Amino acid sequence: MLLKKYMKERDKNMENMIEVRNLKKCYKIPVRSKGMAATIKNLFHRKYDIKKAVDDISFSIKRGEVVGFIGPNGAGKSTTIKMLSGILYPDGGKVKSNGLVPFKQRKQYVKDIGVVFGQKSQLNWDLPLIESFELMRYIYKIPKEKYEANLEKFIKLLDMEEFINRPVRQLSLGQKMRGDIVAALLHSPKIVFFDEPTIGLDVVAKEKIREFVKYMNEKEETTIIFTTHDMQDIEKVCDRLIIIDSGKKVYDGSISEIKNIYANCKSIEVLYEDGRKEIKTFNVNETPMNVVMENLFAKSGIKDISIIEPEIDGIIRDIYEGRIKLPALEGCV
């Protein structure tokens, strides 16, 4: 009996919370023509360019996973998140999240999701923070006992006692962000989408939010999708990384895996006596370290040499800037 219960619980935990198959989204961008005649003509026969914001993306996320969803500006991150949260309709493909189709069953779906936008607050600017939370309780119809238990726990975890009764307009950026996170989680959502939740925050505020996100995942088994440009967020919070670029998925795996793949990529910073700096990147499997050093020492005017080990933010930057080729994920240039 105990084994049967264990197997049932294990199977539940292995369920896919989010299923995305061949997801597509395009935008029509008006083509602007120069000249008065062309402008008048465009009023009746407007031309458009078609931009593929999301181009045939597929992935699945299991219940309780914390996934970093990243890419350069314009890669399609926000468009994908908006389709996953039910704000946008896809042009093609399928999305199923928490057993529902987000854009078709939105009213039912939003009861079990939370969304935190780092640059867009859902708090009422003129109300004390606590009254914004009361408003969320009304909107989501949260039972009083559940609301009070969650609120007490969140206020303690995020150190909010000092400013809970202040109007939102008087709060610092970090305090407002903590308030937005609480507002999004008061109804105990099963899935939470974090979009740049630490943008513009100081080190202390960032760490507090990261610890809270990890707590919610570990204790409440909340499934979390984390979009950010801060690689410290990714390393400290996420178990898995999905990278998209130009609307396509180019990497899907663990952070440790991507580090291991590029561990053979080394960089050497060379400082010359005239103040110039030069960084050379090479693959130790293709060019041994001693060969690189011999070539450098053959040059004149070198003041100092430093070996730079690869870090996740550097790897991601190299991927964005094309120095590491994807999707092959092999070697470096």
Residue 30 lies in a domain: no
Residue 59's pLDDT is what?
94
Residue 26 lies in a domain: no
Q: How many residues does the chain have?
A: 333
For residues 225 and 302, membership in a common domain is answered with: no
For residues 141 and 185, membership in a common domain is answered with: yes
Residue 90 lies in a domain: yes
Residue 28 lies in a domain: no
Residue 324 lies in a domain: no
For residues 250 and 182, membership in a common domain is answered with: yes
CATH number of the domain where residue 205 is located: 3.40.50.300
Pairing label, strands 16-30, 92-97: antiparallel
For residues 189 and 224, membership in a common domain is answered with: yes
Q: Distance between CA 95 and CA 299 in Å, rounded?
A: 57
For residues 268 and 253, membership in a common domain is answered with: no
For residues 234 and 270, membership in a common domain is answered with: no
For residues 103 and 137, membership in a common domain is answered with: yes
What is the value of pTM for the model shown? Answer: 0.75
Q: What is the residue range of 160's domain?
A: 7-19+55-257
For residues 135 and 253, membership in a common domain is answered with: yes
Residue 294 lies in a domain: yes
Structure tokens at 64: 């309780």
Residue 9's pLDDT is what?
45
Determine how many CB atoms are found less than 10 A away from the CB of residue 189. 21
Report how far apart, in Å, the C-alpha atoms of 158 and of each of 152, 201, 217, 260 are.
10, 14, 15, 34
pLDDT of the chain, 333 residues: tens digit per residue? 444 444 444 444 458 899 999 999 998 877 776 666 666 666 666 777 788 889 999 999 999 999 999 888 888 888 999 999 998 999 999 999 999 999 999 889 989 999 988 777 888 888 999 999 999 999 899 999 999 999 999 999 999 999 999 999 999 988 999 999 999 999 999 999 998 888 878 888 888 889 998 998 988 899 999 988 888 888 888 889 999 988 889 889 888 887 776 666 777 888 888 888 888 777 777 777 788 888 877 777 888 888 776 667 777 777 777 666 654 434 333
For residues 112 and 242, membership in a common domain is answered with: yes
Residue 305 lies in a domain: yes
Number of domains into which the chain is organized: 2
